[in-house]
Amino acid sequence: MDWNIGNSAILILSSLLVICAVWRLIRGHEIVATGKYLNWLLIASGMTIIQVILVDAKVVSVFPVVYIFFIPWQFIAPVFFSLFICSYLDRMWEFKKYKKFLLAPFILFFILYTILKINAFTGYAFFSKTISLTIGAEWDENLAVLFAFINGIWNYRMIKSYERNLLGASYKTVIEKTNWLRIMYTLLVVLCSVWILVILYLKVTKFERGMMAYYPLWFLFLGFYFVFLYIGDRHLKGKKEEEEKRQVAFETIVTDFQIEGLNKIFETKELQNIIDGDTYDITRVLSYFATSLFDKRTTDDVLWDIVRNAIGKLDLEDCVIYMLDTQRNVLVQKAAYGNKDKGTRKVVSPIEVPFGEGIVGAVAKSCKWECISDVSQDVRYVLDDMKRQSELAVPIHDEGTILGVLDSEHSEKDFFKKQHIFIFQLIAKLTATKLKQLVKKEATTITNDNGYYKKLCFLLENEKIYKNPEVSLGSIATRLDISLTYLSQLVNKISGVNFSDFINEYRVKEAKRLLTHPNYTSYAILSIGLESGFNSKSTFYAAFKKHTGVTPSVYRAKAPFES
């Protein structure tokens, strides 16, 4: 082996970088994905240098078995760089869009490495040692540096694009978040450029002193990674603290809006129980149930909607609603989701339970919920479609008059917890209230003070979700935890326009602001339209003229600039 002070120091520093990153991952130093990408970036970068040093010190020549563990880290490190930047700037959609191109070099060279290993251990049976060295050294090194260079430019472009997308935010806030990234990526591009120049110099001068010419570059790269670790860690902690504060504030607003909507269904005491419990999660679930029932006009629609949402929102295996047949004094399965339903809104092999018998019948008679942690120990258990281990049954009643029972079984013993019981009670109350409205033929109305509409406006005005060209009725309904149909009716009723026009009003307002802002006089009109959330020139021009009566170019020419 051929060790010297240069490659020994580089190996020690690279190993420390890898060990530090691995330790941070094991400790869970950064739980969020952004921090994990940073650590994996450091591991990949450190391993790249370690592998080169093992070749330079002739460790691979003495111990050929080490070569088996070599992989093209140099092609995966830039990918982690991109993952980090996309995650940090909340632009993971952009990484997903280009991930095939980003991963292609790593996959290609991983295959080449495998072929080279097989070729080496079979005595170069496929092609000569010279060709292997050319592929494993020259091709590998030159293309890796070029890939890192191009990747650095791409990431820098993405940072600039992110800054343009935050035109409505504080300039200071944007710069504090991105300035350090632009500096780091500029340094990376500079280092890659120097590396390329060194390669060209060595080719021209035919330098023959091994890899010593690269030692200063490796020290520079290692210094870059340690600095990136320190600065990146500091900014990640700051970003995490900001997001936690923002999330707390946002959830408080959301809860206020949802409580406001639910107080028309539940009594003050019941809402107080919600507030004392896991407020955000419970109100989120109940709000979806309530809004999903908004447009239901028949008993069957209500019952099937309840069991479908119970499965989807509460992660249950089975949910059945029994309704009381007062003439025969039996409980009949009217709606079910799970094995009892095959997607046709028809209960498969429905059973009837006599009033007062079985767990369901006993709950209907007592008008009190029961949670059985192990049904094998309860002689009242009635086998339905399959044997399960635990059961939760909650009465559906209107001021003491029993209407039916909301029932769920699970394959795990002691599955149902306090939260399940409480939510089931509220869902049962919600079901009874809706059924009562149907009997009385009462219509549920949407008023201008609707809490969900306030929340929608909050998202548009504060988070500027309209800037995302992919935003849709469905995505916003999911974000608000309400049904798509309810959201559509909500927008139509209060705003007086359809959803598309409603969103475009915000986009046009943003475009008008940018068209008259002195900082954006150099921006092309189409660029401003795209930055405002429109996905094409035609939709931008059509919407702008519809809302303003003139084209964007005419508006920019005639409107005075803001100060």
Domain at 451-558, CATH class: mainly alpha
Instruction: Give the model's pLDDT for residue 421.
Output: 85
Crossing angle, helix 484-495 and helix 451-462, to 10 degrees? 80
- Mean pLDDT across the stretch 63-76? 86
Residue 353's pLDDT is 92
Mean pLDDT of 371-386: 88
What is the arithmetic mean of pLDDT over 529-556? 89
Most confident option among 93-97, 331-335, 347-351, 398-402: 331-335
Name the residue ranges covered by the structural domains of the chain: 5-240, 263-293+295-440, 451-558
Residue 355 has pLDDT above 50, yes or no: yes
* DSSP assigned state of 448: T
Read off the pLDDT of residues 446-458 as tens digits, 9 standing for 90 and up: 666 566 777 788 8
pLDDT in tens, 380-434: 998 887 888 999 999 999 888 899 999 999 988 888 888 788 888 888 888 888 8
User: How much is the pTM?
Assistant: 0.47
Residue 247 pLDDT exceeds 70? no
| pLDDT reading at 13 higher than 90 | yes
> Which pLDDT does position 169 carry in this prediction?
42
> In the chain, pLDDT over 90 holds for what percent of residues?
18
Per the listing, tokens 């295959």 go with 111
Q: What pLDDT, in 10s, does the model give residues 113-133?
A: 888 888 877 777 777 777 777
For 37, 166, 172, 176, 382, the CA distances from 169, given in Å and listed in that order, are: 26, 5, 9, 12, 61
Distance of CA 139 to the CA centre of its chain: 38
Q: Residue 199 is encoded by which pair of tokens?
A: 């390669």
Residue 378 or residue 164, greater confidence: 378
Question: Higher confidence at residue 135 or residue 389?
Answer: 389
100 alpha carbon, distance to own chain's centre: 20
SS3 per-residue string spanning 292-304 = HCCCCCCHHHHHH
18 or 304, greater pLDDT: 18
Q: What pLDDT does residue 272 have?
A: 55
Kindly report, residue by residue over 138-177, the tens digit of the pLDDT: 677 778 888 888 888 888 888 777 766 554 444 455 556 7
pLDDT for residue 357: 92
What is the structure's pLDDT at 396?
Answer: 92
Q: Is the pLDDT of residue 372 over 90?
A: yes
Residue 290 pLDDT more than 70? no
pLDDT at 30 over 60: no
Instruction: Show contacts of 365-372: CB within 8 Å, 24+ apart.
Output: 365/402, 366/395, 367/395, 367/397, 367/400, 367/402, 368/395, 369/393, 369/394, 369/395, 369/421, 369/424, 369/425, 371/416, 371/420, 371/421
* Percentage of the chain modeled with pLDDT above 70: 80
Candidates 3.40.50.1100, 3.30.450.40, 3.30.70.3290, 3.40.50.2000; CATH matching 263-293+295-440: 3.30.450.40
Confidence of residue 207 (pLDDT cuts 50, 70, 90): low
* Reported confidence tier of residue 136, pLDDT bands at 50, 70, 90: low
Q: Over range 543-551, report the average pLDDT.
A: 90
273 pLDDT more than 70: no
What is the mean predicted confidence (pLDDT) over 14-34?
81
Tokens linked to 264: 């028309």
Question: Of the ranges 3-7, 360-364, 388-392, 442-446, which one carries the lowest mean pLDDT score?
Answer: 442-446
As a whole number of angstroms, the distance between CA 264 and CA 365 comes to 28
Mean pLDDT of the chain, nearest integer: 80
pLDDT for position 168:
41
Residue 240 has pLDDT above 90, yes or no: no
pLDDT tens digits, 297-338: 788 888 888 887 776 677 788 889 999 998 999 999 988 886
Look at residue 542 in the predicted model and tell me its pLDDT: 92
Look up tokens 């409603």; give the residue.
502
**pLDDT score recorded for residue 472:** 87
Under the banding of pLDDT at 50, 70 and 90, the label for residue 370 is: very high
Query: What type of residue sits at position 64?
Result: P
